[in-house]
Each structure stands twice: as C-alpha cells, then as structure tokens.
C-alpha cells in the first residue's frame, strides 16, 4: 500500500503532462507597425486617435519603456526576428542576408514552424529585398510564400495629386481611394489577406498558426484615406515642441539630416538648409498632423483585424519596429540614438491571463525580448540564451513571461536597453548618406545605453572590415538625465559634477557591447 501511495503523485504528474500535451495550443498573431512611436492614447498621448489599439491595451500588458536595437527598418526587424543584436548579425543596412553573411540563425517564425505551427506573413514583416533574401526568408521562416500587397510597387511612385491634379512623390499624401492604383492601399490589402488566412484556419484541426502582419504605416510617405486627416486640427500641432534649432551641446555626429524628408516633391523646393534646417513652423505642423493621421488609419485597420480574431484562443503581440522624430531637437525621421527614435509601443494580450490582470509594466525592455517571450507564451521549449556567437538557435534577449505572470520584479533599475546607430563620419553628409550609410562607408558607431534614469551614448571608431571598435577613438559623448530632461535636450557631459555618473555608465555600456571586457581592462579607458 505504501508503495502505491508513493507512486500516486508521479502518476498524477504524468497525467497532468498528458492533459497539457493534448490541450489545444494558442494561435499567435504578431502585429508590426512601421516607424511607430508611442503616439497612442494607451500611452497617454492626448493628441492620438487610436480607439482600437487603446481598447486592446486595456485588456493586455503594456510595456511603457520598450526600445528598438537600431532605428532603421532592416536592422531592427532582423534583430527582432532572430533575437540577436545588430552587432551579432553584422547587419546595419539593407544589403546583406544574415544566413549567408554571418550565420544560419533560427528566426522567430522558423522556431514556431519547427514546433508544429503553420506560419504565415502578410505585408512588411521582414524588410523586403536583399536583407531577407528577396523571399521574406521563405521557405525557412514561413509555411507558405509571404503575402506582399500588389500595391506595394507604387509606394514611392508619383501617386499623390497636387492642387492642379499633377501626380507627385509627396511626403504628405491624403488620398481618395478611387484615385489610387487598384483603388486600394497596401495596408488595406494586407489586413484583408490576414483575415482571409485566419478564416481559412478555423476549419483546420491539424496545427495552430503563427501569423505576422506588418503594416507599412506610419512610414513615409504619409499616404492614407483623406478622411483621417479631419480628426486632427492643424493648430494643435504648432506647439508640439519648442525645438527649432539643433541643441548646442549635441555632437554633430549625433545629428540626422532627414534626407528622405527633404527629397519629397512637396519639400525639396523649400530651401531647407543642409544639414540643420530648420523646417518652417507650418511644414512642421503639417508633418505631425499627417503622421498622426497615418497612425489613426492603421489603428482603424487594426480594429478590423481584431474583430476577426478569437481572443480566447489567440496570443496577440503589437509593436513598432522603431520610433520617429517629430521635430524634437529640430530633427525628423529616425536614424538616431535619441529616445524618440528608439522607444516603441509593445503590448501583449494572451488568453492565459484574464483581462482583469492587465497592467502597465515600467521595466526597461528591448525588442530582443519578443522572441523568447512568445516562445514561452505558446508553451514551446524555452529559447536558449546565446553563450556563443555561432549557436544556430538562441537569443540575446530575456523572456518577459515572468513579468506577465507577476513573478518577475518590475524593478526598472535591473534592466537596460542597448541600441546603436552607424555613421560614415563626424559630420552630416549627403554622399555618403549619413542617415543610411552602407556597410563599406561606416566608420563610426554610436552605442546608446538606456537605464532607469539615464541615456548614455558614446560614438566610437568602427572598423567595417572586421566589425571591431576602438573605444579609445571617441567622436562624441552624450548623457541625459530623464528625471529632469525627458526630451534629452541638455547634454550633461560637459558638466564636471556628472563625471562619476558618466564614467560609470561608460563602463556599463562597454561591458554591454563587449561582455568579454574585464573590469580591470576598462581602467585603461578612464579619462
């Protein structure tokens, strides 16, 4: 009898394992917005008109301080989808494919596919072109060829009618759908296809699905149905920021001259002086208005997607691939290491946790954390942490699952976010393009560390031939205290009273970039 009682707990445990194994697994939907900073009502933005994302956030977990690894589409997306930093992938531009360039690393959708999920991509998930092998990494990441909207081919075409009816390549482009190619827009096509896919899987009992939907907006150009502009009176955007000039203590290497904005037909004849501008107050307000209208447009489409999902059986994760400057520091677009270019929305909703457990998480998080988090939420084997650069399947981020469970401490000081941006030289240039330098032209790398209280950025010599850096050769240094200066306007580096903080953060940054550096070795870099 005693032996039977001894075996009973083991039998019950085995029975629980069998029940768990036979239980239906959740579907997973990951939604990526292109160039979306947290201009959402759920993030406290009073100018936003995002009712669908706000309602979604009310039932989910909102990470209020999530950061991209690089404020550029291809490097950010490949980092997110492989769970590895740009320095690990050696990918800082659009022109190399990590599998052939550095290593055949397992991606997030590939990991789900390997564990029995049917994986499918709609819209812009991987960055199209060479950086995803001109195939969106099919067939390795996806169970079927990725869906690309047929109207994508017109995204940079002259399709914006001006007042005389001439078609232009404008930055600001509110349109009537019937005037557009195929009478639609790419994001509308992507949502239609995503809903078709979800409906087609309702009758399938073979496997759960992993769906990635990538919205093109609010990426420029700001082309959206004209009615969304009416939600945003222009006068509300004139006093968005007081910045009109480059901050005096900002290193020149930190500046991005927003060349893509200048190149659009409605701006290229405005005589905006290179590299510092400024843009006129009227144009600045119009850009902000159009950005918010673009966000409202994709929020409306997100609502249509959400209406077609069974949230009782589906994990949904929403994020932006990086932010976008709206005149802060008198800068526009992305291409920098500032908070506005790196901070993104990150919202998770899962059937595992009731809506009543929804909460805001203030701990510092990175987009690297998405891969291991989704694996845990789906009940897949935990993603191993990378211990060697050549490992095929591993990640450099942390799982957020303990925080969702309420087990992880939201002690923000325990976590940091590490981001980076390359430059060809110390000064902003058109040729080579200092906003988007190609690998062969990269001579400087700016590494940025976001802690609970500070952002610290160090611009150092970078050797593109062997992907090494010289910590002795410094081109710029920045320190911002977010307790007093959330806009990162005042660079504290010149102030001697912040020397101790600066040196401590420099050591922490260098060890985050080069973990092999020993503490005593760092003494050689002290001033």
Cβ atoms 496, 489 nearer than 8 A: no
SS3 330: helix
- For residue range 327-381, what is the model confidence (pLDDT) as tens digits? 999 999 999 999 999 999 999 999 999 888 889 999 999 999 999 999 999 999 9
CA 41 – CA 52 distance, rounded (Å): 10
Closest listed residue to residue 197, CA positions, set 145, 134, 150 = 145
Q: Pick the catalytic residue: 61, 73, 219, 322? A: 73
Query: What does the pLDDT read at residue 12?
Result: 38
- pLDDT over 60 (residue 482): yes
* Per-residue pLDDT, 467: 97
**Which of these is catalytic: 26, 52, 127, 219?**
127
Contact 420, 337 (CB under 8 A): yes
Helix axes 281-307, 186-201, angle to 10 degrees: 20
Average pLDDT of the residues in 279-301: 97
Residue percentage of the chain with pLDDT more than 70: 92
- Domains contained in the chain, CATH given: 27-415 (3.40.720.10)
Confidence at residue 14, expressed as pLDDT on a 0 to 100 scale: 44
Closest CA to 298 of 374, 240, 197, 215: 215
What is the pLDDT, as a whole number, of residue 111? Answer: 98
The yes-or-no verdict on residue 410 having pLDDT over 70 is: no
How far is Cα of residue 237 from the mean position of the Cα atoms in its chain?
Answer: 25
% of the chain exceeding 90 in pLDDT: 87
The closest of 351, 450, 368 to 28, measured between CA atoms, is 351
DSSP string, 156-198: TSS-EE-TTS-EE--SEEEE-GGGSGGGS-HHHHHHHHHHHHH
Kind of pairing between the strands at 222-225 and 160-161? unpaired
Burial 58-82 (b: 16+ CB within 10 A, else e): ebbbbbbbbbbbbbbbbbbbbbbbb
Distance CA 222, CA 171 (A): 6
Residue 15: its pLDDT value, please? 38
3-state SS string for 14-83: HHHHHHHHHCCCCEEEEEEECCCCCCCHHHCCCCCCCHHHHHHHHCCEEEEEEECCCCCHHHHHHHHHHC
Residue 78 or 412, more confident: 78
467 in helix, strand or coil?
Answer: coil
Of 95-99, 205-209, 323-327, 508-512, the poorest mean pLDDT is in: 205-209
Residue-level pLDDT at 18? 38
73 is catalytic: yes
Instruction: Tell me the Cα Rg of the chain.
Output: 23
User: Mean pLDDT across the stretch 35-49?
Assistant: 98
CA distance 498 to 483: 14
Ranges 122-126, 159-163, 282-286, 382-386: which has the least confidence: 159-163
Residue 80 has pLDDT above 50, yes or no: yes
- SS3 state at 84: coil
| Predicted pLDDT of residue 400 | 96
pLDDT band, residue 5 (cuts 50/70/90): very low
What's the half-sphere exposure (Cβ side, CA atoms, 13 Å) at 503? Answer: 12
The whole-number pLDDT of residue 276 equals: 96
The one-character DSSP state at 151 is G
Other CB atoms within 10 Å distance of the CB of residue 517: 15
pLDDT at 355: 85
Q: How many CA atoms lie within 13 A of 412 on its CB side?
A: 14
Nearest partner of 222 among 232, 213, 212, judged by Cα: 232
For the cut 60, the answer to whether the pLDDT of residue 415 exceeds it is yes
- What pLDDT was estimated at residue 522? 59
Instruction: Give residue-wise pLDDT tens across range 202-240.
Output: 877 778 999 999 999 999 999 999 999 999 999 999 999
Q: For residue 307, count other CB atoms closer than 10 A to its CB.
A: 9
Calculate the average pLDDT of the chain: 93
pLDDT for 16 equals: 37
Q: From CA 127, how far away is CA 148, in angstroms rounded?
A: 11
Q: Are 40 and 55 in contact (CB under 8 A)?
A: no
How many angstroms separate the CA atoms of 221 and 294, rounded? 9
The arithmetic mean of pLDDT across residues 3-32, rounded, is 58
- Which one, of 115, 328, 302, 104, lies nearest residue 214 by Cα? 302
Residue-level pLDDT at 524: 57
pLDDT of residue 409: 57
Section 38-59 average pLDDT: 97
Q: Which residue has the higher pLDDT, 519 or 320?
A: 320
> In the prediction, which pLDDT does 414 show?
79
* 149 within 8 A of 116, measured Cβ to Cβ: no
Which pLDDT score, from 0 to 100, does residue 11 have? 44
pLDDT tens digit sequence for 459-479: 999 999 999 999 999 999 999
pLDDT at 527 (0 to 100): 47
Using DSSP, state whether 315 is helix, strand or coil. strand
């Amino acid at each position: 009898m005693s032996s039977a009682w001894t075996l009973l707990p083991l039998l019950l445990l085995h029975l629980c394992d069998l029940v768990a194994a036979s239980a239906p697994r959740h579907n997973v939907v990951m939604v990526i917005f292109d160039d979306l900073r947290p201009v959402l009502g759920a993030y406290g933005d009073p100018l936003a008109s995002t009712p669908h994302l706000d309602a979604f956030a009310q039932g989910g977990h909102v990470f209020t301080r999530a950061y991209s690894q690089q404020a550029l589409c291809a490097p950010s997306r490949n980092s997110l989808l492989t769970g590895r930093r740009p320095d690990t992938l050696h990918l800082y531009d659009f022109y190399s494919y990590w599998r052939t360039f550095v290593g055949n690393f397992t991606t997030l959708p590939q990991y789900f596919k390997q564990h029995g999920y049917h994986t499918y991509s709609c819209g812009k998930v991987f960055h199209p072109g060479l950086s995803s092998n001109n195939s969106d990494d099919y067939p390795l990441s996806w169970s079927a060829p990725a869906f690309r909207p047929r109207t994508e081919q017109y995204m940079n075409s002259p399709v914006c009618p001006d007042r005389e009816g001439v078609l232009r390549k404008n930055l600001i482009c509110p349109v009537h759908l019937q005037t557009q190619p195929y009478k639609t827009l790419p994001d509308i096509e992507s949502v239609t296809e995503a809903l078709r896919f979800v409906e087609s899987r309702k009758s399938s009992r073979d496997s759960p699905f992993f769906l990635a939907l990538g919205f093109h907006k609010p990426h420029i150009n700001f082309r959206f149905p004209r009615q969304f502009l009416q939600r945003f009176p222009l006068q509300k955007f004139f006093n968005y920021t007081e910045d009109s000039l480059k901050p005096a203590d900002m290193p020149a290497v930190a500046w991005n001259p927003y060349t893509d904005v200048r190149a659009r037909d409605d701006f290229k004849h405005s005589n905006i002086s290179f590299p510092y501008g400024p843009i006129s107050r009227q144009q600045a307000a119009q850009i902000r208005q159009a950005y918010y209208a673009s966000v409202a447009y994709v929020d409306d489409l997100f609502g249509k997607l959400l209406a077609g999902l069974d949230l009782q059986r589906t994990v949904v994760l929403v994020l932006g691939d990086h932010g976008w400057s709206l005149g802060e520091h008198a800068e526009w677009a992305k291409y920098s290491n500032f908070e506005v270019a790196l901070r993104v929305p990150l919202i998770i909703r899962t059937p595992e946790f009731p809506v009543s457990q929804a909460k805001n998480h203030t701990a510092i998080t990175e987009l690297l954390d998405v891969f291991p988090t989704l694996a845990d939420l789906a009940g897949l084997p935990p993603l191993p942490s990378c211990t060697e650069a050549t490992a095929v399947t591993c990640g450099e981020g942390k799982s957020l699952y303990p925080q969702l469970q309420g087990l992880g401490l939201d002690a923000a000081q325990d976590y940091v976010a590490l981001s980076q941006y390359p430059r060809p030289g110390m000064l902003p240039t058109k040729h080579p393009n200092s906003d988007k330098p190609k690998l062969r032209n990269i001579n400087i790398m700016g590494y940025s560390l976001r802690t609970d209280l500070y952002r610290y950025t160090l611009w150092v010599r970078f050797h593109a031939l062997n992907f090494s850096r010289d910590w002795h050769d410094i081109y710029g240094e920045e320190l911002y205290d977010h307790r007093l200066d959330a806009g990162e306007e005042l660079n504290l580096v010149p102030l001697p009273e912040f020397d101790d903080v600066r040196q401590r953060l420099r050591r922490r940054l260098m060890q985050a970039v080069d973990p092999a550096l020993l503490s005593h070795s760092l003494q050689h870099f002290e001033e």
